[in-house]
Structures are given as C-alpha cells and as structure tokens.
Structure 1
Amino acid sequence: MKIAHIINPFKAKETQDLFLAQPITFKTMETAQRFAKDYGLEVELYAAYYPVDEEVVPSSFIKTPPLDRSVLDVAKIQFQVPRTFPLLGDILDRLYAATDADYLVYTNVDIALMPFFYTTIARFIERGFDGFAITRRTISKDYKGVDDIPLMYAEYGENHPGHDCFVFNRDVYSQYRLLDACIGALSIGQILLFNIICNAKRFRVFRGHHLTFHLGNDRVDLSETSDEYSKYQDYSDHNLYQVRQFVEYYRSIDKLANHRIIQNFLDSERATMPIPGMEFISDELL
C-alpha cells in the first residue's frame, strides 16, 4: 500500500497562528513518514502552493506544479474583501496527477500528526474502510515551537467535532465533484466529506482517536453581528452554494448517499432561507 498526503503551505505572518503551527505540521508529517517506513509503508508528502509561498515548502515535500488561480478567478460574485483562497479541487487534482498512491490524504495545514498516523490509517484501510475522516484533538496553545513537539505528543487534549483530515481511495477520485469550493472558508470540509461519503463502499468518521492535534481552539467570531462574519460571509456563502450544487447533481444521478451527515444538511436546508442572489435547491430536488 502507498499513501500520498498533500497540504497547502503558505508564508504566514509572524502575527498569525500558522506562523507557529505550520512548522509543527511539517515536522510531525516527516516524523510520521519515517515511522511508517519502519513498518514497510510507503508515504509520499506533497505540497500545493502559490509561487510566492514556495520558500516555506520543506525540501522533504514533493512540490506539485504551483497553483495558478484562486476563488477570485472563478466566483460569480465579487467578494467584499478579496482573498486568493485556493480551490480545493486544484490542490487535489495536482495530487491525483502526481502520484499512483492507493490512498490520498488531505489535511488543513494547521493539523499536526501523531507518529503512528499513517500506520493507523493503513490499518483502517485494511479493515475495509475506503473513505473516512478523522477528528482532531485540541491541545494547549502554550507551546513555543518544534522543540516542544514531544510535549505535544504527550498531551491527550480534547476531542474536536470539526472535519479537517480526510482519507479516500484514489480510484474513485475521478468521480468527485468539488466544483469551485475554496479552502479558508466555511463548508469546505463539508463538500469533500460529501464526496467521500457518496463514493466510498465503507465510510466512517473516526472520532476521539489520538491521531491528529491542533494548537488551541481559538475561533473567529462568526456570529451574524460580528465584523468577521460581515467581512468573510461571502466566501462561506460561495462554498455553501458549491455544496448545494453538489447535492443537486448527485441527486440527479441517484448517487446521493443516505447518510446521517448528508441528511442533517438536507434538514437544515429545508429550514433555511436561500442566500440572496444564489440558487437554492428546491424541495422537489430534496
């Protein structure tokens, strides 16, 4: 079995949390790769990045062709605050084209790995799971950098319900429909998760496993009265529209899985008013 894992590094400012978190992600991925090798498991590490960010990509990572567009190039709306958020499809397309690995992994760039991460997901795969997500552990943010990684490993932390780590069979990726969803905004994990659910023979969310971790649990205030919600709501609206289009298409080809995660989304859609200026999935399609 061969596993290929891609992330999207970027040159973070010293004031950003990722300035500390990214090097930890890089180091823990490299450590997990070496650990897997001792068990006879081949793991490839890939990076998809904009040319301006190339200098932060570790030499141990395989560089895919640089990203050459962002959500600004494809969206049908004009964003209030222009941000060059990459398209998830562009990142995963580069991974698919670069490797013949049996299974592909995508994680957010602030998600660090335990040393046994790859060997554990290989065991999950051997047990018949061909598409799954792994929820992270949230640990203290009071660490100084890569020298503290042993202490991070030792802290068990708390379970976090969000989706930021995805594993899926390469053979079905050509059937995925990621549309123009962009990373950096809400609902991005949702569209990838839906694609995995609808194309996996045996899907599962692994919750509570000590396999990945994140420093701290600071959250941007996304309440409708907050400035951050107002500034970046249009990116979340854009991604939600992509999710709705995915649902509409998969319903039309009779491939929308009867899974509680998708059903919860459909239930919430029935109770939510449409976003102004964006197409809403009709009751007939639901």
Structure 2
Amino acid sequence: MMTLAFSHLVNPVQVGPSSDLYVAQPITFQSMLRAQQEAARHAVEVNLLTTQYPEDHAVIPAYFQLTPDLERSVLDIRSFQRPRKLPLIGDIMSRLYHHSSSPYLIYTNVDIGLQPHFYCRVAELLTQTGCDALLINRRRLPASYVSPEELPRIYLDPGKPHPGFDCFVFHRDLYPRMRFAEICVGVPFIGVNLAHNLFAFANKCLLIDDEHLTFHLGEVVMPQHDPEYYWHNRNCFRRIRDEHLWPHFDIRKFPYAELPVGQRYWKWAWNPSLFTFMNFRLTLRSYYLSLQRQVGSGDAR
C-alpha cells in the first residue's frame, strides 16, 4: 500500500447533557485517536485538526491540533426567528485547507465515529481505485452506547446502513474549485452540497455505502429540523448548483450511474442526498451530447 497522508478536521462544540453530542463527541474523539494510532503502525500519516469557537476549547482533547477559532456564524448572514450560533461550512473547510499540508483532506461531522482501520482502508481504497474523492456512509448504531470505554463493543456492532453523506475524503487540489456559499452545519444540505461539489470536480468520486468504516449513535435516518434553517441551506445549495456546479456535472460520475436503469433510479429515489429529477435531466443531457458527438463524427466522415 502506497504511503498517504491525511488531515482530518472536525468541529467540536461545548454542549450540555441534553444534547446528543454530549455523549457522541467523546466517543468520536477517542475513536479518531485510536484510528490515528492504528494508521501510524502502517505508516499512514494522519493529522487530527479542529476548528471551533473560543467557548468550545474546553471540550477538545490535547491530541488535536487547533486551527484558528471561528469568527462568525450563520447569524452574521441573516436573522432567524430562533437564533442558533451555527458555523458556516465554508469557514470550516477554509481552515482545513489553509492550515494543513496533507495531500488528502477529510471532513466528518463531529458525531461520526471511526473504526480503528478507517485511515488504512481509506488509503487502500484511494491507491487501488485511482479515486481523488471518497464518500463513506456511516452505520447506524443504537443510542444505548454512552462511553468511550464501550468502543470495543461499538466496533463489533454491525449496525444498520444509512443513505446520507457525512464523511468526505478528497484531494486538496479540489478545494479551490468548491463552493459553499452561506450553508451552515447542523442542518440538512451540508452533506448534499459537499457531495455535489465532489461529483462536479473530482475526476473520480467513489461512494462507499456497504463497509463498516464509520458509525453514528442513533438510528434515525431523517431527524427533525428547523424549517427556517433548512430552507436557508436548501436555497444556498440551489444557488451553488445552478450558478457553479451544473456545467461541470457528468451523470456518469454520480453514484449508481453504472447500474441498470431500474436499479439506478431506485437507488436515487431512496437516497435523501440525491435528486432523481435532476439526475434524469443530467441523463438526458448526457444522451443529447453523446448524440451530437456521433452526428459530428458522421459528418466528418
């Protein structure tokens, strides 16, 4: 396996016992440390990074490298009826890119834990497939796990599959082309936007939806969300898609595009992060462009 180096950033937040993150974050942190240690035994370099608000420092373990504190939130962009200090994914990704030098960057939500072999397997996938981007779907585990001491049991729990995107691995050369607008974390469409940036700009983006590499405590697929923030993110994504990503989309690079037609549309329809009608339009565009090339080739003869 070719030696690779990764910089992996998460966005910790100080929360009270009523938040799911109160239990999930310490487990995530410890799982990242164990995966980093396992990677080191296989000569895979991993740098663990965070970005945070000043009030979040107390919850960050010493084995993370802190990038500069975040200086704004979505509340600086517009007003909301129920104010929530949610960071902007663009600010988070900027710190990952500008405060690292690894060829490959990784972003995961702070409630996503890692299997010990995570980084080794990611390095293996990148070298074996020639991909410059990976999307890795998590396994959903019961919320009954409450402590990092339970990680040995967590690792053995196969859990259930999850269709959404929350783990992103990509070559750092892709970052300058990516667009984030004012999308905030903690609300749907953050994963949608990151994934569609990779569909647009990666040479080859591979979806890993059937391996036990990451996990999440809690089995809900679509949690409740605040409609106001949801529509904020959704509108931001639509603007990014229409103004920046659309010309670069090639349906052949989308997940499941290689499947027979019926299976392909079934997979798209059941994935909340993919859009069946948009993909249908892209499929028609691909057929039209292919027909144009065939006609042009015939005229040339």
Does the CA-based 8 Å contact 1:250-1:256 persist in structure 2? Answer: no
Alignment of 1:154-173 (within 5 A): 154-173=156-175
1:20 to 14, 20, 23: 23
1:218 is displaced (CA, Å) by 3.8
2:56 counterpart of 1:46: no
Does the CA-based 8 Å contact 2:31-2:115 persist in structure 1? Answer: yes
1:234 to 220, 228, 238: 228
Alignment of 1:78-157 (within 5 A): 78-127=79-128, 128-157=130-159
Instruction: Determine the structure 2 residue equivalent to 1:244.
Output: 238
1:167 is displaced (CA, Å) by 0.6
Does the CA-based 8 Å contact 1:49-1:67 persist in structure 2? Answer: yes
CA separation of 1:15/1:167 partners in 2, compared to 1, >3 Å: closer, same or farther?
A: same
1:65 to 65, 68, 71: 68
Q: Which runs of 4+ in 1 moved over 6 A?
A: none
2:182 to 180, 183, 190: 180
Instruction: Determine the structure 2 residue equivalent to 1:256.
Output: 249
Q: List runs of 5+ in structure 1 lacking aligned partners.
A: 223-228, 271-286
What is the CA deviation profile of residues 78-136 of structure 1, one whole-angstrom value per residue up to 9, with x for unaligned ones? 31211111000101100111111011001010100000000001111112111121001
Alignment of 1:188-199 (within 5 A): 188-199=190-201
Q: Which amino acid aligns with 2:56?
A: D
Cα separation, 2, equivalents of 1:249 and 1:255: 11
Cα separation, 1, equivalents of 2:137 and 2:244: 25
1:243 is displaced (CA, Å) by 1.0
Cα separation, 2, equivalents of 1:220 and 1:163: 12
Aligned alpha-carbon RMSD (Å): 2.0
TM-score of the pair, normalised by structure 2? 0.81
Does the CA-based 8 Å contact 2:200-2:245 persist in structure 1? Answer: no
Q: List runs of 5+ in structure 2 lacking aligned partners.
A: 258-267, 269-273, 281-301
| Partner secondary structure for residue 29 of structure 1 | helix
Cα separation, 1, equivalents of 2:279 and 2:83: 27
CA separation of 1:251/1:151 partners in 2, compared to 1, >3 Å: closer, same or farther?
A: closer
1:256 is displaced (CA, Å) by 2.6
CA separation of 1:269/1:242 partners in 2, compared to 1, >3 Å: closer, same or farther?
A: farther
Does the CA-based 8 Å contact 1:132-1:205 persist in structure 2? Answer: yes
Q: Which structure's CA Rg is the greater one?
A: 2
TM-score of the pair, normalised by structure 1? 0.86
Higher helix share: 2
1:35 to 30, 33, 38: 38
Name whichever of 80-89 and 256-265 sits farther off. Answer: 256-265
Q: Which amino acid aligns with 1:196?
A: L
Does the CA-based 8 Å contact 2:162-2:221 persist in structure 1? Answer: no
Cα separation, 2, equivalents of 1:251 and 1:146: 40
1:62 is displaced (CA, Å) by 0.5
1:221 is displaced (CA, Å) by 5.7
Does the CA-based 8 Å contact 1:105-1:168 persist in structure 2? Answer: yes
Cα separation, 2, equivalents of 1:93 and 1:46: 12
Instruction: Determine the structure 2 residue equivalent to 1:265.
Output: 275
